Structure 1
């Protein structure tokens, strides 16, 4: 393996920070264009002309090559498209604080105030019971119990002597993320879908990276509700739909009902009240002023 060395200058760090900043801006534009790389680059070109964010040291063509090197975009049949790494780049911010006050349930990676089956060992000990890991045995307390019971001369070890360290219980959680794709998300020229997708992308990234044992599903709802793949999230767009919140909640609850996890939650990202509902005969009733 060969290495190329160059002289370090204070400007070097600035160039890297600038590149990362432009890559983040590009990710934001991709959310607005629903993953259309060509359109996002055109918007970036216009921003560069208006605000001077690019210069002779880093042109738009140079930035495109950098984005390719970073694995964010790739060229296929002379068309630029977003890569899997590029999708992940969009989902970076964390919303860890939403996972609080969880109850004790199946093993996972969420911290809880309770003790139980987990990873982090505590200083407290308890009597050994079936199912406790042998690696958590407190040898000092165990031997002390044995000596107190039988003395040093006739040392024996019995089950009642065993003590194990308590561990901090780590639980799992099932989450359904609901995203409103009705027309009101862009009504009157106000872009509500972009920040909504940003929240959804950030939350999905947090769960997938920090809590890999968790169940996560994406439900989009307009006139009706539909289960979508998480990989489709950056490419979602609004449609000529009303807001059938009830259908979205019904599908989300049905998905959670199938999970055996104790902790279940629904996060709904929407801009307002419901404006559509299916009646008893499954006909769609719409009212733009709300139900």
Structure 2
């Protein structure tokens, strides 16, 4: 009896997801809580215990205390001894998060907001300008004296030689050579401004946590995918000051007004020191400018409406940034019409861009705008 050939094709089976360990499940929740509490370990654990009571996240064999011990064993937290030397590593000292957990929070923010991205080669910043770059464009031109030999396309050059001279009298001359065009991979220097005025937590809406997540994700994106780019982060309230990437999980709002001018001044000072041609400012804010620092050191504050004196100073800073070829992209996470009108005038003065968005989708918008800006050389 003749045997029939074996059947080929796809076999579909029921998907059995990999079971998540109790630690992994708790760790996912803990990372969210530690971000909301600005790095306050004790408060995050208190919230985790409350969630455990309500949703039964642990078992008798694995408790919250076991989870805390495993966090220590894995190097995510450490016990800080008191000045008097007390604290013996058994939980009676103050607990703080480590650099390992800070990196994990940045990576998690990146995956949450931008999706899982693989690290690419250095650069990846394409511009519309062709020349002696390092990104192949797929277009060809005739060889010119001075072109690098490794840029010569041998396949296209041999094809030209066959067409021009035939098989019987085959030879290759300089006129047969073609090179593939390349694109520049420009570098970008970015300053991210984050509003930490009191309004970022007013009206029952937490706006600072999404802003922190965006900052952590952008930092992780640039350091892993675009290592030649630079990112500086500053916060602004009554004044403005720079913060380090490792400090982002601990960022919190304060009893501040909004000194947008101070933030812009510091951002431009930071960018003046950068050698990159391409520079930009991203500003995340939800409130109107309401504060200025006067030359004598006193603060001029006005939270009622839009103060003409403060607003005009903001317009002047926007115009100054334009003269320095520094575009400002404003991400406005508020919907007040009169505030949008201010942002419109501010954007017009700078010839930058403005996005009026809620908290949802903020990260995706910043990521898209960052990628788009990297596709052209800002002049």
Cα offset for 1:240?
A: 2.2
Equivalent in the alignment of 1:127: 142
Deviation sequence 1:246-277 (CA, Å, 0-9, x none): 11012112222333434322121222111101
Cα offset for 1:210?
A: 1.5
User: Aligned match of 1:85 in 77, 93, 100?
Assistant: 100
Equivalent in the alignment of 1:237: 252
Distance 1:286 1:126 in 2: 61
Matched, 1:49 2:53: yes
Cα offset for 1:127?
A: 2.9
> What does 1:214-225 correspond to in 2, within 5 Å?
214-225=229-240
SS at match of 1:38: helix
Deviates most, 164-173 or 142-151 = 142-151
Distance 1:233 1:131 in 2: 48
Matched, 1:14 2:26: no
Distance 1:271 1:120, change over 3 A: same
Equivalent in the alignment of 2:265: 250
SS at match of 2:238: coil
Alpha carbons 2:126, 2:135 under 8 Å: kept: no
Distance 2:104 2:299 in 1: 38
Distance 1:275 1:131 in 2: 58
Distance 2:283 2:249 in 1: 17
More strand by share: 1
Deviation sequence 1:154-182 (CA, Å, 0-9, x none): 94654x54322233543322111111122
Distance 1:122 1:187, change over 3 A: closer
Equivalent in the alignment of 1:227: 242
Matched, 1:284 2:299: yes
Distance 1:130 1:280 in 2: 59
Give ranges in structure 2 of 5+ residues lacking alignment: 1-14, 82-88, 116-121, 308-379
Distance 1:241 1:253 in 2: 22
Deviation sequence 1:20-65 (CA, Å, 0-9, x none): 4432321121122221223322221122112322223532123224
SS at match of 1:240: coil
Cα offset for 1:66?
A: 3.6
Distance 2:46 2:242 in 1: 32
SS at match of 1:217: strand
Equivalent in the alignment of 1:211: 226
CA RMSD of aligned residues (A): 3.2
Matched, 1:28 2:43: no
Distance 1:96 1:256, change over 3 A: farther
Give ranges in structure 1 of 5+ residues lacking alignment: 1-9, 98-106
Equivalent in the alignment of 2:286: 271
Q: Which has the higher relative contact order, 1 or 2, with Cα contacts under 8 A spaced 6 or more apart?
A: 1
Distance 2:114 2:184 in 1: 18
TM-score, with normalisation over the residues of structure 1?
0.78
Alpha carbons 1:243, 1:274 under 8 Å: kept: yes
SS at match of 2:140: strand
Alpha carbons 1:109, 1:213 under 8 Å: kept: no
Alpha carbons 2:239, 2:262 under 8 Å: kept: yes
SS at match of 1:227: strand
Alpha carbons 1:93, 1:206 under 8 Å: kept: no
Alpha carbons 2:161, 2:170 under 8 Å: kept: no
Distance 1:234 1:181 in 2: 14
